[in-house]
Structure 1
Amino acid sequence: MAELTIIIPTYNHADRLRHTLEHLALQEGIDETEVIVVNDGSIDETAKYVDHLTYKWLTVVHQENKGRSQARNNGLKRAKSNYVLFLDSDILLCPGYLKELLAAQNKNPGIYFGDLFNIHFDKTERCVSLLRVQKTKDRAKEQLKKLEKVDLLVNMARYFKIWHPEQKVGWPCLTAANFSAPLSILKKAGPFDENFTGWGVEDHEYAFRLNETGAEIYYLDTIYGCHLDKAKEKINIPLLVENLLYFHKKSKYNPEVRAYLEFVSGHDSLQSLFRRSMNMPLTDCSEEIYFRPYKHIRAKQVTANGR
């Protein structure tokens, strides 16, 4: 039985999924790992691409388009390893990622995630080429920093670690892009909530429930993934707001969730979210950091004429 199962949900990401799997094939220990790709009813070339792959460590599951939560749950049902790594289909892992992750899990089981470089969609090929030629994670890291576009929603752990210089961080720092946990903890938290639809929120709600199990959340900034960002033609803002409000109600209006909502809506600072989610004081003399949701959404979108 494999020690680690990697679950990759995907929808219409054939080009990025190809990069993700090709880089996984270069990971030390991949032959002792199970990788489950759940194709969530893609209508591009995804099905044709994955069905022709011959990686012995790869299992492909096809389903109707039911969303990322259902796709992750479908993969989770098939996992039998000690540990699970959720990985998005547009993430490239640095050399040595799996080896270092498993070493951390075996030493002190918990919830772990690495750093994430958000690579703007016009720099994808440069990122892919860079990771191919560099054999060690440290040699590539400094160059990747020059390509990234920092995203507060996925990079807030960097700030939390400055303010609290330990591996432990708060649940708002965790996304489903590249996090690992023992299968036993995931079963205790339950499945991803399939009531979330559209883009966003379902992974932060899951992070909140993982935290409620009492498990520790650790930020491993010595390893990292590269997120190959993709321009979205349209983001349904009213639906996104509905998801946020549903999360708040489901949490029974938990004050930490309230703090998260105030941060992602741009009404309160990252420093305040740290204080309220970590339940500790913060003396920070720097300027308050705010997330700008509409600016963030505009940066993610592209119109039909590419502007």
Structure 2
Amino acid sequence: MDNIKVSTIVPVYNSEEYIGGTLDSIINQDFNGFEIIVIDDGSTDNSLEIIREKLSKSTVPHQIIHQENQGVSRARNRGIEEAQGEYLVFVDSDDYITGNHLSELYNGETDFSLIQFIKREANKSSTPNYISKRLMSCQDLIKMELNMQMPFNFWQLMYKASIINENSIRFNPDYIYGEDIEFALKALSFGGEVAINNEVTYYYIQHDDSAIKTSEYRRFEIVEIFENLAEFYKNQGKDDLADLITTSRIPKAIFGNMNYFFYNDYDFDEVIAKMKELDLFEKLSRYEGDSKFKYKIRAFLLNPKIYYKTWKKFKNSID
């Protein structure tokens, strides 16, 4: 397979309802010079049969890899190892992309490029987070994410394959929540510039049975991931990024996930017990940033029960 500009990596596990549409959206790109790498991670439904049928009728270069179930991170890592493209993109098996996804991302010059996405859940759709700049340093994009001024998802990016491979960047299979943003933030730290495109070309579909929906308190794993990332940045001599993680990103992740549990009616005492077990109160108190958010954290730390009751009353008033 010569002249492969982009490798599109698709991990699959029991996605027979969606994988056909996902592959159609990838096959029908208005872009030449790409390959499709599908890693079937031990599916027990008809996913593999659908994959073979779809790709056998396509003229797009492709690889179908079948392995025993090892998890999505190892499946993506296998795709990286098999990829022959100059750049890498990732598409989840229940999402879909528009026909210009690759052409909007690819420029052959910058280390990374980024497009917009829409998240669809039930009858709701998110609003894209448009950016005024067309070119940004990787360092600035990392800082914006750590300050949550512009949080993004890893599949919004196109990655230069040489950066990923020369620096041994891989998805961490020990985690099921947050391993993808760790991958992106590590990769970006080795890059120069990111091309920014405000075209919406990726549609992220949130299903009730997704890993995030069923992970329960493992959502708090994101704290450990960011602690590891802070150490990673320190080893690179990027203490400013490590400090941002401690004083901004981790507290916001804790508070956001805590409120997620409250919003979804998790037991208050269980949430608090889990936070104490993971020493999240102390880590939450390290927040340094805007006064409004700092006030919310202080109010919670002063009396979690009163904060919860007030929050619950407010939530019920707007439901």
Alignment of 1:35-74 (within 5 A): 35-53=36-54, 54=56, 55-57=58-60, 58-74=62-78
1:89 aligns with 2:93: yes
**CA offsets 1:120-179 (integer angstroms, 9 cap, x no match):** 24x5xxxxxxxxxxxxxxxxxxxxxxx5135xxxx6x53xx36xx454262333423342
The offset of 1:91, in angstroms, is 2.5
Q: Structure 1 residues 255, 14: CA separation in 2 closer, same or farther (over 3 Å shift)?
A: farther
* Cα distance in 2 between the residues matched to 1:16 and 1:67: 18
Question: For 2:175, which of 180, 187, 197 is the aligned residue?
Answer: 197
* Cα distance in 1 between the residues matched to 2:12 and 2:66: 10
Question: For 2:23, which of 21, 24, 40 is the aligned residue?
Answer: 21
The offset of 1:205, in angstroms, is 0.8
1:256 aligns with 2:244: yes
What is the DSSP-based 3-state SS (H/G/I as helix, E as strand, rest coil) of the residue aligned with 2:175? coil
Q: Which residue pairs with 1:114 in the alignment?
A: 115
Alignment of 1:230-249 (within 5 A): 230-232=207-209, 234-249=213-228
What is the DSSP-based 3-state SS (H/G/I as helix, E as strand, rest coil) of the residue aligned with 2:221? helix
* Cα distance in 1 between the residues matched to 2:256 and 2:39: 37
* Cα distance in 2 between the residues matched to 1:220 and 1:241: 31
Q: Which has the larger radius of gyration?
A: 2
**CA offsets 1:265-284 (integer angstroms, 9 cap, x no match):** 2269xxxxxxxxxxxxx9x9
Q: Point out where structure 1 has 5 or more consecutive residues left out of the alignment.
A: 124-146, 269-281, 291-307
* Cα distance in 2 between the residues matched to 1:231 and 1:193: 24
When the two structures are superposed, what TM-score results if normalisation uses the length of structure 1? 0.67
Q: Which residue pairs with 1:302 in the alignment?
A: none
* Cα distance in 2 between the residues matched to 1:232 and 1:6: 24
Question: For 1:184, which of 162, 172, 182 is the aligned residue?
Answer: 162
Q: Which residue pairs with 2:105 in the alignment?
A: 101
Q: Which residue pairs with 2:262 in the alignment?
A: none
What is the DSSP-based 3-state SS (H/G/I as helix, E as strand, rest coil) of the residue aligned with 1:74? helix
The offset of 1:12, in angstroms, is 1.9
* Cα distance in 1 between the residues matched to 2:156 and 2:229: 25
* Cα distance in 1 between the residues matched to 2:244 and 2:134: 20
Q: Structure 1 residues 34, 267: CA separation in 2 closer, same or farther (over 3 Å shift)?
A: closer
* Cα distance in 1 between the residues matched to 2:95 and 2:87: 19
What is the DSSP-based 3-state SS (H/G/I as helix, E as strand, rest coil) of the residue aligned with 1:115? strand
What is the DSSP-based 3-state SS (H/G/I as helix, E as strand, rest coil) of the residue aligned with 2:255? coil
Q: Which residue pairs with 2:272 in the alignment?
A: none
CA RMSD of aligned residues (A): 3.1
* Cα distance in 2 between the residues matched to 1:262 and 1:41: 37
Q: Structure 1 residues 242, 96: CA separation in 2 closer, same or farther (over 3 Å shift)?
A: closer
The offset of 1:88, in angstroms, is 1.6
Query: Are the counterparts in 2 of residues 109 and 181 from structure 1 also a CA contact under 8 Å?
Result: no
* Cα distance in 2 between the residues matched to 1:187 and 1:51: 28
Query: Are the counterparts in 2 of residues 14 and 44 from structure 1 also a CA contact under 8 Å?
Result: yes
Letter in 2 for 1:112: S
Query: Are the counterparts in 2 of residues 11 and 39 from structure 1 also a CA contact under 8 Å?
Result: yes
Higher relative contact order (CA 8 A, sep 6+): 1
Question: For 1:224, which of 180, 197, 201 is the aligned residue?
Answer: 201
Q: Point out where structure 2 has 5 or more consecutive residues left out of the alignment.
A: 146-150, 235-241, 258-288, 297-319
Q: Which residue pairs with 1:304 in the alignment?
A: none
* Cα distance in 2 between the residues matched to 1:238 and 1:17: 29
Matched residues, percent identical? 19
